[in-house]
Amino acid sequence: MNKRSGIETKKRILEASMDVFSRKGYAAANIREIAKTAQISIGTIYIYFKNKEELYQNLIENKKKELTDRIVAMSPGKKSASEALKEFIRVHLEYAVRHREFILLHIREHGFSFGIEKKRAFFNQQIEIIERIIKNGIKSGEFRKSNSVDVARIIMATLRGIILTIALDNVNIKPEALSDFILCALLKKEYGKK
């Protein structure tokens, strides 16, 4: 098996596992159904993952990396801090809506403490991205002076709460509404006025 075909097979397994875990839940999902959904043999899954738990962990890491890659791909040098923050919020909320069932499964079956150290590292990484956006906005004169670390933590905590609301209550919060709310506190009143 060549490297490219191995990458594609692993991707198919992860996509199939996302589907099966989201529909059935972790406990009821099994490798046989994941293999059937991916249209591969059960043995092929075991080439990449030693068991269902490892597959699930890999899926979670893959989804976090996917989100982080989308955030990092935003080129902050080419847009204002407001635009960068709006895009950050939009990407997070759209991701939550798209993967609502998986987020709900994770909360329902594993609770909030499952993989806490990895979650903490992920959220700290996201906070650092927000902090850079805030600092750029302060430096450019677009945002009022503030403690960028505290503001970044507040924004991330707000996003986490809204993502939980999306998952648990199936409520869709528009990214523009959240962005406008947050930017009301950050923008200098005179910024952009002639």
| Residue 3 belongs to domain with CATH number | 1.10.10.60
Distance CA 130, CA 154 (A): 10
| Statement to judge: residues 134 and 172 lie in one domain | yes
Residue 63 belongs to some domain of the structure = no
28, burial (CB in 10 Å: exposed 0-12, middle 13-18, buried 19+): exposed
Q: Which domain holds residue 181?
A: 74-194
pTM for the whole thing? 0.80
Q: The CATH number of the domain where 93 resides is what?
A: 1.10.357.10
82-123 residue pLDDT tens:
999 999 999 999 988 888 888 887 777 666 566 678 888 888
Q: Residue 134 — pLDDT band, cuts 50, 70, 90?
A: very high
pLDDT value at 194 more than 50: no
Residue 21 belongs to some domain of the structure = yes
Averaged pLDDT, 3-32: 88
